[in-house]
Amino acid sequence: MSISQDVFSFIDALPEAMFIVDQKKRTLVGSNAAFSELTGLTVDTFLGTQIFDLPFSSREAKRGILRLFIKVSRDAGYDKPYSFTYVCPKGNIRNIQASARVPVLGGQKYVVFCLKQDQSQEVLLDGLDSWKFYLAMAYESFMEFRPAIPVAVVDEPDGRMDFLQKLGNSLQVKFFNDSAAEFYNDPRGTLEGRTFLSLFNKENDAIGFLDMLAVVGRIKSETAVSTNKVPRVHVEMSCVVKFNDEGNITALYCSHRDLSKERRFRDIIGSNKLEMSFMFHQSFVGFALLAPPYPLERPSIENLDAKLDEMLDQITAIRGNETMIGMHASDKSGFFMKPMRGFFYDSVEARQVLKELFVMRETSLGKPKETGNENDLEQISIFRGMFDNADRLNGVFIATSKHRCGYHPRHITGAG
């Protein structure tokens, strides 16, 4: 059954901003006029969108709304609000507090979100400041470089290298977000003023980037940079150049994603690389690789649940095929860096699986269909822990199949 038009009309007349999400499908089914007035968003443009794809202004806000959805769905009495900063399409910054409830409408459960604004904190930004505010809230590291002195473009081979070196030393950091400061271990802001060449582990890598950028204006590639702690960190760097009317470079915008964990696991896979690539890219079984930021020691029995909960947030998805992404998210951006606890119905299941991985290295979990019969399974997941020579957890493989094929899982999930 669906929500009746009478219920929608009643919600639309309420003064508080609200939007409604189907608890089972996790899709937005409606909102009221107050929601459009508060956010500047028209519901028709994203009706049916998954909750983690709602067009809020930062990834952190999306994740916070999703976490609130999950907590309220699992515990109908959960009443802690979630506060976040939102940038409206017109540039207004608003501090918003979101709370949620799980009513039954038309015989079906929905999660109804109520949004309240702290009007004392509203600020209006111009176009440039609004753009930089988005970047300041961005999850990935971002930097803006501008030349200290104009550098004329040289196309001839004889003067090309000299031009690129001068350009690399002239381009200096003028703006960077918190993610970049954290990545470069630069809490005091000394990142500002550093040159483009100085950030790379090898000058030739920076020269190669600039050589391409001066011609095509855009590049995305793997490279290595140096931070204040680590001399060589592998990243995927994306750069875009702004040219003036004379064809000279007036600004360079760069963002990058840390690949160090992915590269570490590529090395672990080693000679099985082709085999693993085949497994991940075939579509019959969902595969995912999760990894912690550093190897995890086996937890002691004291405060075991708290330690396991911390690890479940640290272990995140760094790789997955399209089948697995489709099972757990609407797109790749909603899947990668998803914490391990997000692959389970509740925290009890997640803790039990992780605890068993430290002991048995492998365990399995079955999810029943909504028939109520535990033997009638919708999907089965197998979990395999990867450990180093010091018996520390390096990663977790997850394989999920929608077909039972006679396999009996060790546990049956509480979902249904």
pTM, entire model: 0.40
Tens digits of residue pLDDT in 291-319: 998 899 988 888 888 999 999 999 999 88
Instruction: Give how many domains the chain has, as a whole number.
Output: 3
pLDDT score recorded for residue 309: 94
Position 390 scores a pLDDT of 80
Q: Do 156 and 290 share a domain, yes or no?
A: no
Domain coverage including residue 382: 261-412
Q: Which pLDDT does position 380 carry in this prediction?
A: 86
Residue 138, pLDDT score: 54
The answer on 253 and 162 residing in a single domain is yes
Q: Is the pLDDT of residue 225 over 80?
A: yes
Residue 130 lies in a domain: no
Q: Are residues 265 and 243 in the same domain?
A: no
Distance CA 209, CA 221 (A): 9
> Percent helix, strand and coil across the chain, each rounded to 5?
35, 30, 30
- On the question of pLDDT at 5 being above 60, the answer is yes
Under 8 Å between Cβ of 283 and 321: yes
Beta strands (DSSP E) in 300-345 are 316-320
Closest CA to 56 of 71, 72, 44, 41: 41
Question: And the tokens for 228?
Answer: 């204040």
Domain boundary among 225, 258, 291: 258
Residue 215 forms part of a structural domain? yes
| pLDDT the model gives residue 187 | 60
Which residue, 124, 153, 184, sits at the end of a domain? 124
Q: What per-residue confidence (pLDDT) applies to 298?
A: 87
| End residue of a domain, out of 215, 231, 258 | 258
Rounded to whole angstroms, how far apart are CA atoms 316 and 210? 33
Shared-domain flag, residues 230 and 148 = yes
- pLDDT for the residue 351: 92
- CATH of residue 57's domain is 3.30.450.20
In-domain check, residue 133: no
Residues 6+ apart with CB under 8 A from 11: 18, 20, 30, 32, 112
Whether 398 and 382 have beta carbons less than 8 Å apart is answered as: yes
Same structural domain for residues 99 and 164?
no
Question: Which stretches within 84-173 are classed as H helix?
Answer: 127-136, 157-170
Give domain status of residue 163, yes or no: yes
Burial 379-407 (b: 16+ CB within 10 A, else e): bbbbbebbbeeeeebbbbbbbbbeeeeee
Q: Do 300 and 388 belong together in one domain?
A: yes
Is it the case that residue 228 has pLDDT exceeding 60? yes
Q: Are residues 281 and 387 in the same domain?
A: yes
Q: Which of the residue ranges 86-90, 333-337, 372-376 has the most confident prediction, judged by mean pLDDT?
A: 333-337
Looking at the fold, whether 251 and 271 belong to one and the same domain comes out as no
- For residues 27 and 49, is the Cβ–Cβ distance under 8 A? yes
CB 383 within 8 A of CB 364: yes
pLDDT for residue 270: 54
Q: Report the C-alpha gap between 69 and 413 in whole angstroms.
A: 20
